[in-house]
Structure 1
């Protein structure tokens, strides 16, 4: 017979697993290993939303190519130690692992040490991401909270709220301003 604490723990585990989106890990999308990693102090108090300002993707094959292109841009062209974002979100409804949960990103100067960076794959100035991508992002945020990587009292921001940029695009920005815990 299960003890009450075991039942509560199992229920919490089920909620955490059910709230997490499908994550395509680095080895699954063909990611190269990072040259360096800096541990992120968790739970992070902020989550920052981006767009990659590249092509949109609606299939796993197309999104995989986009993520590999972002990694090439960040690691080869810009000579960073790794892809900048913790996770990338495709319009195929999947989340692609960048630096992952416990690693400090390189996505927003002066904010990397205290935030998770989630980037939508594509350009979202005039059109918002589809429902599959938006749902995956919201599930990713809930997953981060349930797994202890993002504070229960987190603040959600767009990239433009922390650095001078138009990112994550006007259409996506309008959407996230309506999400829970958003604060400009």
Structure 2
């Protein structure tokens, strides 16, 4: 009996509370292992490579505030392995909005290809460790996992270790993204709060608020200024 109790105690110390994954019928494991469904970040404790394998294909990324978020995992869109990984100190209090300034994508195949191309550009042309954004969002509201909740990104110079970034796939200077995409990002931020990845009192910024850039485009920038957590004060 003593031996069994010691084993259970050690498991708890190492793996903590994986209830976010387990409550959905998922399994927390190293993402180098085969997953019969798809991987979702942010639901398992431990290293950034220990992720939740949700069985049965693409679906929601969590319970409660996460139930209405559809995420395509890195393995599903065919991400290349990162050159290196740095962990974020969570929860973060800064959320940045970008656009990719590429053509938009309109179906699963074209969106997967677009995200792959963005990752290739970031890693090969820019020489970064991985795709820069935390998450990318298609016009239909589907979220594509970039570096995810737990990893430091390469999206907002000077603030990468302090926040996460959502990038809308497309160019939004002349018109804002469809309602489905805007709603998806709002829901995803709430999901992050419920998972303990984002503080409830977070501050929202456009990329141009902190760096010399026109990103995320005039129309999208004006839109996010109407969102409740948008901040006019530079962090």
The TM-score, its normalising length taken from structure 1, stands at: 0.90
Contact kept, 8 Å, 2:71 with 2:143, in 1: the verdict is yes
Higher helix share: 1
Q: In structure 2, what is the Cα distance between the partners aligned to 1:14 and 1:23?
A: 13
2:223 is aligned with 1:175? yes
Contact kept, 8 Å, 1:59 with 1:91, in 2: the verdict is no
Task: For residue 66 of structure 1, report the CA deviation from its aligned partner.
Answer: 1.1
Partner of 1:16: 65
Q: In structure 2, what is the Cα distance between the partners aligned to 1:73 and 1:141?
A: 26
Q: In structure 2, what is the Cα distance between the partners aligned to 1:106 and 1:14?
A: 29
Q: In structure 2, what is the Cα distance between the partners aligned to 1:136 and 1:17?
A: 10
2:179 is aligned with 1:121? no
Partner of 1:82: 130
Aligned residues: 172
Q: In structure 1, what is the Cα distance between the partners aligned to 2:66 and 2:212?
A: 36
Which ranges of structure 1 fall in alignment gaps of 5 or more residues? 1-9
Q: Considering only aligned residues, what root-mean-square deviation do their CA atoms show, in Å?
A: 1.3
> Secondary structure of 1:46's match?
strand
Partner of 2:56: none
Q: In structure 2, what is the Cα distance between the partners aligned to 1:36 and 1:92?
A: 31
The TM-score, its normalising length taken from structure 2, stands at: 0.71
Partner of 1:53: 101
Task: For residue 16 of structure 1, report the CA deviation from its aligned partner.
Answer: 3.1
Q: In structure 1, what is the Cα distance between the partners aligned to 2:193 and 2:142?
A: 18
In terms of Rg, which structure is larger? Answer: 2
Q: In structure 2, what is the Cα distance between the partners aligned to 1:23 and 1:38?
A: 22
Task: For residue 69 of structure 1, report the CA deviation from its aligned partner.
Answer: 1.0
Task: For residue 180 of structure 1, report the CA deviation from its aligned partner.
Answer: 1.3
Partner of 2:157: 109
Q: Which runs of 4+ in 1 moved over 6 A?
A: none
Contact kept, 8 Å, 1:63 with 1:92, in 2: the verdict is no
Contact kept, 8 Å, 2:174 with 2:219, in 1: the verdict is yes
Which ranges of structure 2 fall in alignment gaps of 5 or more residues? 1-22, 24-61
Contact kept, 8 Å, 1:60 with 1:92, in 2: the verdict is no
Partner of 1:43: 91
Task: For residue 93 of structure 1, report the CA deviation from its aligned partner.
Answer: 1.4
Task: For residue 18 of structure 1, report the CA deviation from its aligned partner.
Answer: 2.1
Aligned residue among 152, 160, 175 for 2:200: 152
Task: For residue 152 of structure 1, report the CA deviation from its aligned partner.
Answer: 0.7
Q: In structure 2, what is the Cα distance between the partners aligned to 1:131 and 1:24?
A: 19
Q: In structure 2, what is the Cα distance between the partners aligned to 1:49 and 1:96?
A: 15
